[in-house]
Structure 1
């Protein structure tokens, strides 16, 4: 029997519209017809479910690996199919039945009511994450619905109709079909033809008025035609090619680590109606920065478990994007809800700088940090950064042979090393430090009140998460509360730790770079140095910078944000608007990353070879157009002053991302030259 086979959706729908004029009923297969899978093998969805069950079992004292869980499931399911085959023509299985039996066998007396529903919920979540509705068929369904055709979905599947309806609803098809029929409910499948017979009797359908559409030549084609139903079979070579690519990447990843990240990215790729035209910045956010942040978040979760961290505080402003990414990815990565609490913490370098002096005073190291930006020159800049009024220090300055305008930075004209020594001597003056503490005590107390309100001191182990780079914010933050006996052990995790100044670690204050840490030689990840501002701008929150913490007259406190109606505020707004598509791409990739990573079962170390490729290709050897599109236009540094350094400062030292488009295009060796310079710098650190 020759089947009516179509090799594109366009031709199928065109002919379907013509034939449907004489039909009253159109039925559709679900999987690989109305919905396509991101993966080549539907059984791969079972693996994250097995890992989930194993995690649940271990948390209840049942020692079992996920491979054993999968083996039990496969055996129990096959036993049911064998038993069904003795009573029906089709060897079908029913998910709630064999899964409950599987769970009872694993958990024994520790099985609890609700366990099956919990596991089912996660399996349907994973199934849905791997399913995409076919746009052209959905549009045709809508047309048929408006013409009042009777529409049904018929599937040979171990998931019962109640479960399939959840997937159909996820796909937005529930309002377009009259009903969903699954062989799991009756053990009558299309494969034997009994499924068509069951549907005809149940819904009183006329065969000659019935058109069925599916992808399986035997079940959807031959059996339908034998039953007297006209059938259309879709054989889409483009879809077959896509699946073969996914299959190769997944298979390669088993023994070649580089391909693990490539498989991840392939599973994250938008399909069908998702694949609409997007701005270049959106694509960079989705394909480049998104997977980097996803791997960062996944490693954070692992470290939180390892260190018994019960709450994670995402530091503003980059923490805004990290937190949103966490919320999108974690439901897939932590289905057992073992992840710690999270909260967004309003902090900034400029707000914490003053608060950290309230008890310890102004330290030499913190003054050194203040003079790192080239725009800072004298004591006025020190006072601006640490929220100090300069006037009360005039006498002390004069006693040490200094003035407020004395040059204290080596990158400015007029610098004398002796003046820096005088400054350091003044830092040891008790009167000077008492005045510093007097002025900063209110902001320090306001910060503590804020942290008390959000429950910071109620935990034994917490994590604070920031973009990087020197660890200035974690340093100031922990110094501001170091005097408190109830402070928790704080693990500071940075996206990248450049560690230009040694960080003061102790039993209650630790810092680590996750994607890059200068204490671990990692040449590929060190290319973060090329465009650190890019990552800050890409992840920045839409609210203004926090300027400080202030005590109120009524005994409370308030957070003070910088105004946005000046030139800097307007430039920042322009920057936010420009990078909005980039940030949207990052956020949109979160749940796709979570689902794909959960399905593959890999983590940061598995993805590292691919991520290294992304770092180097996108930051050290990007296309000229990529640099022009993605690099920042305005970058607000709340520490940076307005003084101009001497003219020879920084001459001849330019980053790749600072060159013009023409220079990037006309100098083919530029990237290689700069990469060798970068390599020398990293080796000599």
Structure 2
């Protein structure tokens, strides 16, 4: 919306005039693209690359078809026009345009602006062989409707055609510079400006969460879905989208009409497959190492991963272990009391694990993963741990099956023998990795199915049952996440249905440009959203503890490491003035070098 004072000023300056002339494109209607030449580029793609120059009927019709699909009303100026019309003013529309007057009438009618009701006349350069730019169209208007230039006001967005030329002729001119027409930096061949123009024109819901989904996460999801389709369509083999991020990825492909019968959603988690494979290890050391501990973890969470919570009730020695924290598998192994507890219960661990394995086997057979056939798996990333676990399962089945992993990003390639590829990075682009990981928890939350992680598989007679954890967000926050997801899926739908997709290249740069600004430099509104967001799982709950008065160094370190949005956490803790991104970059560099 434009400034209301500015709109009122335009209206007041027209009160004394007899005839009000409005430019059309950029004043009453706007396109999804910034430059008019982009319309030609879109039409060219629809003509399979054939040049479209606008010099014959077929070309004009192709351009008209594109224009019809990408124009939108500028509501504030249409309101001014209608208000002036109701006050008895003669309303004229003008345009220097390759389309003829009837075509522009049709474009306007399509958005609800009707000749005879909202305006009286329309003068288009292609109908008369003269333009506003050379002054000829204004002179023609003067002759056709018998009005003096002094009785006219013209409003438009082009400096020369709509302001300087009419003023030279004695017409009162108002230069209308809309919010959407304000210049933005030249990023990459106009693509980013076109993307943001598209977002401004299509984002219909006025809601903070919906807006960040549509504007920030939507382009990334759209780019990744296209990237996936390019690779999946090349391979005639089963494709498994892993829970829970795979749910949204598959949804995006369905919206774009790219889903196939060979695509399936796999209900699996790191916890569920770890628990199902523990029985294959010979000793406690191997079991603990298989957990791949990469962050602080409590004794209770370790027991939950091993699925032997019942042992806590029957082993009194466990009481002193409650609340104990570990930062690596080595710490667990080196802790004599913890190691002894686990050693005492190795038989229970194996028994539980084998039961889970048998149930998981039935489930994987039901979705046709448990076969000799090669397949592709899709997940968010970042190391490829789930791919490694699935390969471990395949070994127990003595299959020669090969899994190709497709990820949003591959952080580091710990498992070089496992073929994998990332959209945003492939163990390279340290800066891109660092920038994404500052809010990676939020990214994962937004891309996840709104149901809890898979806890484990259970035997139920000859069948199986999948037990899931609780969702990490309460009912109120779940609605916020759902609104973000709705926004990004609506972006995918709108972009897929728009001709502008043919002139935008959704690579790593374009798909993340807006998102990285949002994630690494959160605004006050973003911080207010983050402060009230409560993320909880079985090992921790985090949203409070902001501010220095009540925060210990130990608490700060733990909260920072577990935070789903680290730059926002730093600003909430130290103040909005705090250089959170620079501080985070420094910590990231120190961690990488240790």
TM-score normalised per structure 2: 0.66
After superposition, the Cα gap between the structure-2 partners of 1:502 and 1:572, relative to the gap in structure 1 and judged at 3 Å, is farther
Change (3 A) 1:146 1:618: closer
The 5-angstrom pairing of residues 374-523 of structure 1 reads 374-377=296-299, 381=301, 384-387=304-307, 410-411=326-327, 416=334, 435=351, 438-452=354-368, 461-466=375-380, 468-480=381-393, 489-499=402-412, 502-503=414-415, 505-506=417-418, 510-517=419-426, 519-523=427-431
Q: How many residues align?
A: 544
| In the alignment, structure 1 residue 663 sits paired with structure 2 residue 584 | no
Say yes or no: does 1:317 pair with 2:244: yes
In structure 2, the CA distance between the partners of 1:622 and 1:489, relative to structure 1 (3 Å rule), is same
Decide whether aligned partners of structure 1 residues 441 and 584 sit closer, same or farther in structure 2, where only a CA change above 3 A counts. closer
Aligned to 1:43: 37
Counterpart in the other structure of 1:629: 529
The residue aligned with 1:541 is: 449
- What residue in structure 2 maps to residue 132 of structure 1? 72
Q: C-alpha distance in 2, partners of 1:479/1:563?
A: 27
- Distance change in 2, residues 1:324/1:625 (3 Å): same
2:466 and 2:575 mapped to 1: Cα distance? 44
Alignment-derived partner of residue 300 in structure 1: 228
| C-alpha separation in 2, matches of 1:162 and 1:456 | 62
SS at match of 1:491: strand
Deviations 1:322-346 (A, max 9, x none): 4455566x57xxxxx6999765544
After TM superposition, list the pairs within 5 Å mapping 1:522-561 onto structure 2: 522-550=430-458, 557-561=464-468
Q: How far apart in 1 are the matches of 2:348 and 2:319?
A: 14
**Alignment deviations for residues 16-48 of structure 1 (CA, whole Å, 9 cap, x no partner):** 99999xx9xx99986445422243432313324
Deviation at 1:235, TM superposition (A): 1.2
Aligned-residue offset at 1:478: 4.9
SS in 1 for 2:474: helix
CA distance in 2, matches of 1:192, 1:537: 53
| Pairwise CA distance, 1:600 | 3.8
The Cα offsets for residues 519-573 of structure 1, whole Å up to 9 and x where unpaired, read as: 22412431333332222233333334444445555x5555444457xxxx7x532
In 2 relative to 1, CA 523–681 (structure 1 residues): closer, same or farther, beyond 3 Å? farther
Change in 2 beyond 3 A, CA 1:52/1:16: same
| Structure 2 partner of 1:84 | none
The answer for unaligned runs of 5 or more in structure 2 is 1-5, 158-174, 543-551
Tell whether the 8 Å contact from 2:24 to 2:93 is kept in structure 1 after alignment: yes
Contact 1:95 1:158 in 2 (8 A): no
Note if contact 2:239-2:262 (Cα within 8 Å) is conserved in structure 1.
yes
2:112 corresponds to 1:173: yes
Q: From the superposition, tell whether residues 416 and 406 of structure 1 become closer, same or farther in structure 2 (CA, over 3 Å).
A: farther
Where does residue 104 of structure 1 map in the other structure?
none
Gap change, CA 1:143 and 1:265, over 3 Å in 2 = same
Name which of 178, 183, 191 aligns with 2:125.
191
CA distance in 2, matches of 1:374, 1:552: 34
Measure, in 1, the Cα distance between the counterparts of 2:351 and 2:541.
Answer: 23
The 2-side partners of 1:52 and 1:459 are apart by 39
1:263 is matched with 193
**In structure 2, do the counterparts of structure 1 residues 421 and 461 end up closer, same or farther at CA, with 3 Å as the change threshold?**
same
**Shift in alpha-carbon separation, 1:663–1:560, aligned structure 2, 3 A:** same
1:682 positional shift:
2.3
* Structure 2 CA distance for aligned equivalents of residues 365 and 505 of structure 1: 22
Structure-1 separation of matches of 2:537 and 2:45? 44
TM-score of the aligned structures, taking structure 1 as reference length? 0.59
Per mean C-alpha deviation after superposition, the further-off stretch among 366-375 and 356-365 is 356-365
Structure 2 distance, partners of 1:275, 1:461, is 40
Is residue 680 from structure 1 mapped to residue 590 from structure 2 by the alignment? Answer: yes
The RMSD of aligned alpha carbons is 5.9
For residue 502 of structure 1, give the secondary structure of its aligned residue in structure 2. Answer: coil
With over 3 angstroms needed to count, the CA separation of the structure-2 counterparts of 1:142 and 1:269, relative to structure 1, is same
Task: Name the CA shift for 1:651/1:139 in 2 (closer, same or farther; >3 Å).
Answer: closer
* Contact persistence 2:245–2:449 (CA under 8 A): yes
2:377 touches 2:405 (CA, 8 Å); kept in 1? Answer: yes
Relative to structure 1, is the Cα distance of residues 443 and 145 closer, same or farther in structure 2, using a 3 angstrom cutoff?
A: farther
Task: Assess, with a 3 A threshold, how the Cα gap between structure 1 residues 479 and 641 changes in structure 2: closer, same or farther.
Answer: farther
SS of structure 2 residue aligned to 1:444 = helix
Q: Which residue of 1 aligns with 2:507?
A: 604
Are residues 425 and 132 of structure 1, via their aligned partners in 2, closer, same or farther at CA, if it must alter by over 3 Å?
same
Q: Over residues 339-398 of structure 1, what are the superposed CA-to-partner deviations in whole Å (9 max), with x where a residue is unaligned? A: 997655443333444455688899937754264453332xx755632556866xx9xx9x
Question: 1:153–1:261: structure 2 CA closer, same or farther, 3 Å change rule?
Answer: closer
Q: 1:574 aligns with which of 464, 467, 476?
A: 476
Q: Closer, same or farther in 2 for the Cα pair 1:543/1:30, shift >3 Å? A: farther
SS at match of 2:298: coil
1:235 correspondence with 2:156 = yes
User: Given the alignment of the two structures, is residue 369 of structure 1 paired with residue 303 of structure 2, yes or no?
Assistant: no
Equivalent residue runs for 1:282-297 within 5 Å: 282-297=210-225
Q: Give the direction of change, closer, same or farther, for the CA distance of 1:10–1:624 in structure 2 (3 Å limit).
A: closer
User: Is 1:245–2:148 an aligned residue pair?
Assistant: no
**1:245 alignment partner, SS class:** coil
Give me the whole-angstrom Cα distance separating, in 2, the residues matched to 1:678 and 1:514: 22
Runs of 5+ consecutive residues of structure 1 not aligned to the other structure: 1-7, 55-65, 81-92, 100-119, 180-187, 196-213, 255-259, 332-336
How far residue 607 of structure 1 moved from its aligned partner, in angstroms, is 3.6
Equivalent pair of 1:40/1:244 in contact (CA under 8 Å): no
